[in-house]
A and B are shown apart, each in its own frame.
Chain A
Amino acid sequence: MSDARDEVLRGLTEGIPYLRFLGIRFDRAGDELTAVLPFAPQLIGNPVLPALHGGVTAAFLEVTAIVGLVWSGLAEGTAVSALPKTIDLTVDYLRAGQPRDAYARARINRSGRRYASVHVEAWQDDPGRLFAQGTGHFLMP
């Protein structure tokens, strides 16, 4: 079971070009999944500060939510037929993203047959000090 889940996870991170473009990977500890965005100079939006691009932060939250939904479906034995589609996403920028690695975790607040509501929190050094959080609604495949 867990091997099959790891296989699906690897398929997602290697098979979706945009995840490779941003360099996002997923670290797994038991059932808990953490998205990792390793720092790269091309992720910078404001070169003066410097700070991560706000669009990168939004994308990181969205990717974490989508993969989190697939992951939780796998835990319940649901096969991946297609990816959930984003309906909307609200991003709350709490502080500037530093030029360092970033991490995020998704919490699925509601997952029905058609719609899901997911909250994502992102941090850099201290998990208790978020730099962004977001809530999105997704259409399930």
Chain B
Amino acid sequence: MRAMAEVPAIARQFIEALPHAAALGLRLEEIGDGRAVIALPYDTRLIGDPATGVIHGGAVSALMDTASGASVLCHPAGPLSTATLDLRIDYMRPATPGQTIRARALCHHMTRSVAFVSVVATDDDEARPVAMANGAFTVDRPR
């Protein structure tokens, strides 16, 4: 993983300043060339099942959506802005309580108006993903 210092400050400030990203405590760890890695540190406010302490799936979705949008914005085609058109999420297993959840998003194709993204969320056991999603995003290109 790249060190935080290598993430362009402006990119990190942009992502981390999005109000909901800030509320979740998201941290941008890597960005560039249509790829983004964003971390969600464990936070008891985000628990979905009080019996187990597992983070709610909605917070994982918000993490994956943010990472996906970031991967679109840093695609070499240089879109001006993006919004989610659709997101299809599979939840494979509960994230282990206490561990940071990390989403790795790849914008693998971009047309004039649509970007296609795949994203994987893992906790410390990176061989067994917590969730995976595919999304389609709008693209605003510079004229």
The chain A residues found within 8 Å of chain B, CB to CB, are: 15-18, 20-22, 41-48, 51, 53-56, 58-60, 62-63, 82-83, 85-93, 96
Complex Cα distance, B63 from A32, in Å, reads 31
- Contacts A53-B18, A55-B20 known; 6 new A-B pairs at CB < 8 A: A18-B59, A43-B23, A44-B18, A55-B58, A83-B48, A89-B61
- Are B57 and A55 neighbours in the complex by a CB distance under 8 Å? no
Whole-angstrom CA separation of A96 from B46 in the bound complex: 24
A85 to B94 CA separation, bound complex (whole angstroms): 9
In this complex, what residue of B is CB-closest to A95?
B83
Stretch at the interface among B3-11, B29-37, B84-92, B107-115: B84-92
Do A82 and B58 have beta carbons less than 8 Å apart?
no
- A-B pairs with lowest CB-CB distance, top 4: A55-B62, A59-B58, A18-B56, A54-B84
A17-B44, A54-B65, A87-B91 as given contacts; A45 in contact with B86, CB under 8 Å: no
CB-nearest residue of chain B relative to A60?
A: B58
Closest to B89 in A: A89
Complex CA–CA separation, A63 to B89 (angstroms): 14
User: Are B19 and A43 in contact, CB atoms less than 8 angstroms apart?
Assistant: yes
Q: Does B69 contact A (CB under 8 A)?
A: yes
Residue of A nearest to B48 (CB): A18
> Is B81 at the interface (CB under 8 A from chain A)?
yes
Give the residues in chain A near B23, CB-CB below 8 Å.
21, 42-43
Q: Which chain A residues lie closer than 8 Å to B48 at the CB level? A: 16-18, 83
Chain B nearest CB from A100 CB (Å) reads 15
The residue from A17, A51, A90 contacting B46, defined by CB atoms under 8 A apart? A17
Are A87 and B20 touching (Cβ within 8 A)?
Answer: no
Q: Which residues of A contact B84 (CB under 8 A)?
A: 54, 91, 93
Specify which chain B residues have a CB less than 8 angstroms from the CB of A47 in the assembled complex.
Answer: 17-19
| 27 contacts across the A-B interface (CB closer than 8 A) | A16-B47, A16-B56, A17-B45, A17-B46, A17-B47, A17-B50, A20-B45, A21-B46, A44-B18, A45-B21, A45-B65, A45-B69, A46-B18, A46-B83, A47-B18, A53-B21, A55-B59, A55-B62, A55-B66, A58-B61, A62-B57, A63-B56, A83-B49, A91-B86, A93-B84, A93-B85, A93-B87
- Minimum CB distance partner of A91 in chain B: B87
| Contact (Cβ within 8 A) B88 A93 | no
Question: Is the beta-carbon distance between B45 and A88 smaller than 8 angstroms?
Answer: no
Per the bound structure, the CA–CA distance linking A63 and B84 in Å amounts to 19
| B64 lies within 8 A of chain A by Cβ | yes
Contact B20 A45 (CB under 8 A): yes
A18 to B84, CA, bound (A): 22
Q: How far is the CA of A54 from the CA of B66 in the complex (A)?
A: 8
